[in-house]
Structure 1
Amino acid sequence: MPTIYQLKSRFQDLLRPVCRSLAANGVTANQVTLAALGLSIGEGLLLWIFPGSFLPLILLPLVLFIRMGLNAIDGMLAREHDQKSDLGAVLNELGDVLSDAALYLPFALLPFVDGPIVVGLVVLAIIGEMTGVIAVQIGASRRYDGPFGKSDRAALFGLCGLLMAFGLTAPLLYQILFGAGLALSAVTIFNRARAAIREKQSA
């Protein structure tokens, strides 16, 4: 099923000159991964401490875009500049789920948002990423199947942050948006598990 993740290769092409410059200056993939995590936690703290405030909400789409860029760069540094490591693999997977939790759980504090839906969405996001990793355990490739992967979650929460920053606080709107994310997250888990099993069986 279609997902924003499918645009990753084009995004990487745009970032490749930056990646080469960072590699030439001694920046490592793990440093970039940790920078993305630190940025996410910092923005998450702002959202948590100042729930519903304009500045953290308006910053969220920018932070999510920068995080996406850093996530692409750390992968390119690892693959294209011989920086792959076991530590990097651990940091990459843990960094993604920790960043998601830090950035998205604060939305559950907002009075016009259904908190359990947001918490459920974050939980399913973690399970979805775990499902993608479990694929490797059974001998398949790391699965990134959609329709609601990391980039799609970022797009949803970035949009919601923007809408909230400009005063759109209708509870029904966010029940629909986050509810759709919840349903799509469940479909994503199923698709990743099914694709991993099919890949293994066809190998």
Structure 2
Amino acid sequence: MNGLYSLKPWFAEQLALIRRGLVERGVRPAVLTWAGVGFGAGAGVAIALIPLGPIAGIVVAVLLVARLACANLDGGVARDSGRSTRFGFVVNELGDRLAEFAVLAGCLVVAPPHIVLAAAVAATLPSWVALAGAAAGGQRVQGGPIGKTERCALLVVLAATGAAVPMLLLMAAGSLATAVVRLVRVARALSETDEASAESKYAAAGALS
């Protein structure tokens, strides 16, 4: 259930020339991370100030595509320039969360605060599950059904149609479902790793006896 996340390799390929140019110019990955937060904030301002409809939808779509591009480029630039650090990973995660919160803050103008808060809290859960799995020694799981890219798409629909409450409720429900799906995948992967480790230790003990 990778959803729109499956388009990431294609998206990264489209950004290849930009990525190389940024590396050649010595642009720091953190600059791109915070630029993504700025684009997210811009999308939030657009939702709050531009009457919801096709124009708002186009503006928000452009800003969120730019936000996703920054989220893709910061890691790529870090790897290609040899600037990958563990703290850079922390900054990247923080930037992702702040960018999303910045967009949702704009939704406070067009939807009840408790619904916006529910969407904001639920939207963090898939990432926390993925990070917890990675911290436990597994691979970080990605994808949907409602991952980061799908949440951006829902916000574009919100801006274009004015259906703020339905889109935010769908985001909240979909994010919860995604967290559950990822949790199942994490549990299965870690269980398989534990079983393989136990079998390896058993085999080693048998060989020594």
- When the two structures are superposed, what TM-score results if normalisation uses the length of structure 1? 0.84
The residue that corresponds to 1:186 in the other structure is 176
Percent of matched pairs sharing the same residue? 26
CA distance in 2, matches of 1:174, 1:106: 11
> 1:112-191 to 2 correspondence within 5 Å?
113-164=111-162, 173-191=163-181
Give the secondary-structure state (helix, strand or coil) at the position aligned to 1:26.
coil
Unaligned runs of 5+ in 2: 194-209
Shift of 1:149: 0.6
Query: 1:21-64: per-residue Cα shift (whole Å, max 9, x none)?
Result: 1101111212111111123234434545x374777664211110
Contact 1:148 1:181 in 2 (8 A): yes
Q: What CA RMSD, in Å, does the superposition of the two structures yield over aligned residues? A: 2.1
Contact 2:52 2:161 in 1 (8 A): no
- When the two structures are superposed, what TM-score results if normalisation uses the length of structure 2? 0.82
Contact 2:23 2:80 in 1 (8 A): no
Give the secondary-structure state (helix, strand or coil) at the position aligned to 2:15.
helix
Which residue identity lines up with residue 117 of structure 1 in the other structure?
I
CA distance in 2, matches of 1:159, 1:47: 11
Cα 1:174–1:30, aligned 2, differ >3 Å: closer, same or farther?
A: closer
Cα 1:80–1:202, aligned 2, differ >3 Å: closer, same or farther?
A: farther
Unaligned runs of 5+ in 1: 165-172
CA distance in 2, matches of 1:129, 1:52: 31
Name which one, 1 or 2, has greater alpha-carbon Rg.
2
**Paired residue total:** 192
Contact 1:51 1:106 in 2 (8 A): no
